[in-house]
A and B are shown apart, each in its own frame.
Chain A
Amino acid sequence: MKKSYKIDVDCANCAAKMEDATKNTEGVKDATVNFMMLKMNVEFEDGADPKEVMPRVLDNCKKVEDDCEIFF
C-alpha cells in the first residue's frame, strides 16, 4: 500500500536524511521524500498498518532531524 503525507522540513539535506530514516523503519517497504513539494510517499509492507507505522517513522525522523514534522 502506498500513501502520501505532507511534511515540513527546512533543508534538502535534512529531507534526504528523513528519507533514509523512513526507509529503515519497520513496516516500510520503500519511501521517497520530495523536499520541493514537501511531500513524503511511503510504501508500506504487506499487512502493515499505516496508523501504527507512521508514529515510528516520525520518531526515527526526529532522531536524524529534530526540526521535521510529518502530518498524518
Chain B
Amino acid sequence: MNKKQKKTLYRIIISAVLLIALYFIPVTGALRFILYMVPYFIIGYDVLRKAFKGIKNRQPMDESLLMCIATVGAIVLAVYQDLSGLKGDYVEAIAVMLFYQVGEWFQSVAVGKSRRNITELMDIRPDYANIETDGELEQVDPDEVEVGTVIYVKPGEKIPIDGIVASGSSTLDTAALTGESLPRNIVEGDEVISGCINLTSPLRIKTTKEFGESTVSKILDLVENASSHKSKSENFITKFARIYTPAVVYSAIALAVLPPIVRMLFMGAEPMWGSFVYRALSFLVISCPCALVVSIPLTFFAGIGGASHAGVLIKGSNYLETLSETDTVVFDKTGTLTKGNFEVDAVHHCPIKEDELIEMAALAEAASTHPISQSLRRAYSREIDRSRVSDIEEIAGQGIKAVVDGKRVAVGNTKLMAAVGAEYIECPDDIGTVIHVSVDSEYAGHIVISDIIKPHSADAVRALKSCGVKRTVMLTGDAVKIADKVASELHIDEVHAELLPSDKVDRVDALISAKGGKGKLAFVGDGINDAPVLSRADIGIAMGAMGSDAAIEAADVVLMDDDPLKIADAIRIAKKCLRIVKENIVFAIGIKLLCLLLSALGLAGMWLAVFADVGVMVLCVLNAIRALITKR
C-alpha cells in the first residue's frame, strides 16, 4: 500500500467508526445534522473537491460528480424530512460515499498489486554492467557500454547485453525469457542473450550489440507498449462509457421529474417528489461504469503479462483478441515443426558397429565445413583426433576420401562408391540425404541424415486441435515426399510442398480468401525468410525469435523459444483472457441494468445501489486478475 492508499484506509475506518457511534447517540435537530456531516466530509471531501474542479474545467461527466449529486441529494432529502417533522436518514448518504471510497481503495490496491505482480514477472531489466579496468570491477550503466566491450558477469547476476562468451563456461537460467525451467549450458564462443541469469561460474562476455538493441530492451519495449494497441473490446468500453454516463444522468433527471409531473397533471395523484428523487439518486449510484472501465484493460494487461511469463510475447491486446479467434494454423516446416538442422537419423546395412561407422565418417570429414559433415561430427559427439586422419582428398560432387587409422575410408554418394569399387545398396526410403561409406573398398553401409521433427511437434498439433483449431496446414520449400512424411507423422490436415518463399505468401492469401466464417488464420514461422508471410496472415507468430530482429518486427506474437507447444499455450491464454473479458462485460452490464430497473421501479434502495456499483467492480477486478494465471 502506498501513502495515499493508507490515508484513504484511515479515513474509511474513522468515518465508519463515527457513523456507528452516531447511531447510538440520542441527539436531534440541527446538532444531529452537524454531527452527521463530520464523517461525511471526512470520507468525501476529495470526491466533492474533484467534482467541483471537474465542473470548473468543463469536464463534469465523471463518477465523482455522480457520487456528489447522489449523496448531496440524499442529504437534502433527509434535511427535508427532518424539517417536516420526520427523522431524516443521513446514514444512507454517508454509507454510499463510504462504500464508494472502499471500492476505489480496493481498486487502487488491486491494480497496484497486479501491476507489481506483472512487473515482477517481467523483471528482466538489468541495472548495471560490470566492466573490468586494471583488475578492478566497475559497475556502469548498461546504456553506456559500447559494442565490443568485454563485460564481466558474476554468478547470480543477469547478463545485461547480448554478446559472445569470451572466456569461462557456466549454466544459464533462461526462464525469464523462455519460460523454460531447465538451465542451459554454455561454453566459450557461444552466443548469449541479455536477460538470462548466470548461475554457476563467472563469465567474460564480449558484447555484440548496444543495450538498446539487445534482446532484453526489445522485449521490455514490446511488452510495455503492448497495451497501446487497443482491442475491439477496449474500444467498445471507451465508446460505451462516453455515451453511457450522460445517458444515465439524463435518465436520472427524467426519472426524478417526469413521473411526479405526470402524476400531478394527468392522474390527479400526489406527486411524491421525495420518492422519485430518491429513486433517481439510487439510479445514479448504480450507474458508475467503473467496473468495466477498470476491469477490461486490467484483464488484457494481466493476460499479456501472464503470457510473457510463459515465454509468449504478445504485441497488443488486439492480437490477443485475434489469437483467441484462430481456427486455422499454418506452419512453416523447417525450423518450426522440424529442427532445421540436419542430424543423423539412421544407419543401414552396416556390418560393423554403428558407432564405429559414424566415427570413421566423422574422422574422414574432420576438415570439411559442409553442413553434412558438421552433423556427422555432432553425431560422433567426441573430440576429433586429427592425428588419426591423413591424406584427405575432397572430390567435388562425390564426397571425401581419407586414410583413417591406416584404413582407406570413402564417405560420399553412390558415384563415389562406384569410383572406389564398393558394391553399395540403395536406401529404400530415401527421405533426407544418404551418405554411403566404404572401408578399404568394402561397402560399410550408409548413414541417413535428415531434418528431425521436434520432439513436441506432434503434441503441439494435437494440443491445437483440442483448443479449437479446426485446420492445420503445412507449407514448405522441401520435396513433396519429405513434406508428406512429416505431415502424416504429425497428423497435419493439408500440405503444400515445393514452394518458393513468394509462393508461401500467395498460398496464405488463397487460404485466407478461401476460408469463410469468423475464424482467423495464424501463420507460424521461424522468422527466417518468412517475414512477408508473417505480416500477411491475420496473426503472425514467430518462434525461437531471440536475436532475430526481422521476426520480432514482422510478427504479432513472438515465442521466446522454439517449442511448438507454445503456440497452443498462446491460444489458450488468449481464449481464457477473452472469456474473462466477456464474463465481465455480461456480468457488469447485466447486473447494472437489472439494478437500474429495480431502482427505477422503486424496488431497490441505496444499499443495493452500492452493491451494484462497488460489489460488481470488486468481483470484476478479482475475475480480471485470473488472467494472470497461465498454468497449463
**A binding-site residues for B, Cβ under 8 Å:** 10-13, 16-17, 32, 34-39, 41, 63-64, 66-67
Q: Given A34-B228, A36-B118, is A12 in contact with B50 using a C-beta cutoff of 8 Å?
A: no
CA distance A20 to B62 in the complex (A): 16
Does chain A have a CB within 8 A of B53? yes
**Which of B158-166, B289-297, B518-526 interfaces with chain A?**
B289-297
Q: Compute how far the CA of A37 lies from the CA of B122 in the bound complex, rounded to whole angstroms.
A: 12
- Taking CB atoms and an 8 Å cut-off, the chain B residues in 102-131 that contact chain A are 104, 107-108, 111, 115, 118-119
- A1 smallest CB distance to B (angstroms): 15
Contact assessment for A12 and B108 in the assembled complex, using a CB-CB cutoff below 8 Å: no
Judge whether B238 is part of the interface by a CB distance below 8 angstroms.
Answer: yes
Which of chain B's residues 287-319 have a Cβ closer than 8 Å to chain A?
A: 290, 293-294, 297-298, 301
A67 to chain B, nearest CB (A): 7
CB–CB B294/A66 < 8 A: no
A12 x B115 contact (CB < 8 A): no
Q: What would be 27 A-B contacts, judged by CB atoms less than 8 Å apart? A: A11-B290, A11-B293, A12-B293, A12-B298, A13-B62, A13-B241, A13-B290, A13-B293, A16-B238, A32-B228, A34-B224, A34-B228, A35-B227, A35-B297, A36-B111, A36-B118, A36-B297, A36-B301, A37-B115, A37-B119, A37-B224, A41-B225, A64-B57, A64-B59, A66-B53, A66-B54, A67-B50
Contacting A34 at CB < 8 Å: which of B49, B104, B225, B294?
B225
Docked complex Cα distance between A71 and B305 (Å): 25
Which residue of A16, A32, A35 is within 8 Å of B225 (Cβ)? A32
Q: Give me 5 other A-B pairs in contact (C-beta within 8 A), A36-B298, A67-B50 excluded.
A: A12-B297, A12-B298, A37-B115, A39-B224, A63-B59
What residue in chain A is nearest B245 (Cβ atoms)?
A13
Q: Which of A12, A37, A38 has the most CB of B within 10 A?
A: A12
Given contacts A63-B57, A64-B59, A66-B53, are A10 and B108 in contact (CB under 8 A)?
yes
A36 and B227 contacting across the interface, CB-CB below 8 Å = yes
* A11 proximity list for chain B (CB < 8 A): 107, 290, 293-294
Q: Which residues of A contact B104 (CB under 8 A)?
A: 10
Question: Which residues of the other chain, A, contact B118 by a CB distance below 8 angstroms?
Answer: 36
Residues of chain B lying within 8 A (CB to CB) of residue A63? 57, 59
Please encode chain B, from 44 to 62, with 1 for each CB lying within 8 Å of some chain A CB and 0 for all others: 0000011001100101001
Majority DSSP secondary structure for residues of B touching A = helix
User: How far is B297's CA from A67's CA once the two chains are assembled, in angstroms?
Assistant: 20
Closest B residue to A35 by beta carbon equals: B297
**In the complex, chain B residues 368-419 whose Cβ is within 8 Å of any chain A Cβ:** none
Chain A residues whose CB sits within 8 angstroms of the CB of B53 once the complex forms:
66
Most buried by B among A10, A11, A13, A35: A13
Q: Is the interface of A mostly helix, strand, loop or mixed?
A: mixed
Cα of A36 to Cα of B114 in the assembled complex, Å: 9
Residues of chain B within 8 A (CB-CB) of A12 are 293-294, 297-298
For A13, the chain B residues whose CB sits under 8 A away are 62, 241, 290, 293
Return the chain A residue nearest B4 by Cβ.
A10
User: Nearest Cβ distance between residue B291 and chain A, in whole angstroms?
Assistant: 11
User: Are A66 and B297 CB-contacts (below 8 A) given A13-B62, A36-B227?
Assistant: no
- CB-CB under 8 A from A41, the residues of chain B are 225, 228
Residue of B nearest to A36 (CB): B301
Interface residues of B in 75-123 (CB under 8 A from A): 104, 107-108, 111, 115, 118-119
CB neighbors of A among B321-376 (8 A): none
Contact with A along B476-516 (1 / 0, CB 8 A): 00000000000000000000000000000000000000000
A34 and B227 within 8 A (CB): yes
* B218-237, CB < 8 A from A: 224-225, 227-228
Would you give the shortest CB distance from B48 to chain A, in whole angstroms? Answer: 12
Min CB distance A71 to B, Å, is 15
Of all chain A residues, the one with the shortest Cβ separation from B295 is: A12
B62: chain A residues within 8 A (beta carbon): 13
Q: Which residue of the partner chain B has the closest CB to A13?
A: B293
Least Cβ–Cβ distance between B113 and chain A, in angstroms = 12
CB distance from B186 to the nearest CB of A (A): 32
Question: Most chain-B Cβ atoms within 10 A of its Cβ — which of A11, A36, A66?
Answer: A36
Q: What residues of chain A lie closer than 8 Å to B224, measured between beta carbons?
A: 34, 37, 39
Chain B hits for A16, CB < 8 A: 238
Bound-state CA distance A10–B54 (Å) is 15
Can you list, as one digit per residue, whether each of B263-300 has a CB less than 8 Å from chain A (1) or not (0)?
Answer: 00000000000000000000000000010011001100
Inter-chain CA distance A10–B62, complex, in Å, is 13
Residue of A with least CB distance to B56: A63
Query: A31 vs B525: C-alpha distance in the bound complex, in angstroms?
Result: 33
